[in-house]
């Protein structure tokens, strides 16, 4: 019984890592949808490139959030003895 509980506790970081992976996929999907919408409206906004710089800042922010989730996921997987390549 104790070994079974130990295995269940050992699976918690793996489960959380899987959930974080799903969150990362959703973040990347939302980033691409936002980029699509922005690219559709960009030709109709003559603003001297300000809009494009805003788009690049938004994409950079989303990438930073994705990197943060990736670091957490890698840390959790290292707890279980797995390495992400």
Residues 31-46 have pLDDT tens digits of: 888 888 877 877 776 7
C-alpha 4/C-alpha 9 separation (Å) is 9
Residue 29 within a domain: yes
Confidence check: pLDDT of 59 > 70: yes
Over range 60-80, report the average pLDDT: 87
The structural domain count of the chain equals 1
Q: Is the pTM of this model over 0.75?
A: no
Residue 34 within a domain: yes
Residue 26 within a domain: yes
Residue 84 within a domain: no
Residue 74 within a domain: yes
C-alpha 46/C-alpha 32 separation (Å) is 22
Q: How many CB atoms lie within 10 A of CB 3?
A: 7
Residue 56 within a domain: yes
Residue 85 within a domain: no
């Amino acid at each position: 019984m104790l070994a079974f509980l130990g295995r269940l506790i050992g699976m918690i970081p793996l489960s959380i890592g899987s959930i974080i992976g799903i969150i990362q996929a959703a973040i990347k999907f939302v980033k691409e949808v936002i980029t699509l919408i922005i690219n559709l409206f960009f030709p109709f906004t003559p603003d001297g490139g300000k809009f494009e710089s805003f788009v690049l800042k938004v994409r950079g922010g989303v990438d930073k959030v994705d990197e943060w989730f990736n670091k957490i996921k890698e840390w959790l997987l290292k707890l279980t003895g797995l390495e992400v390549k």
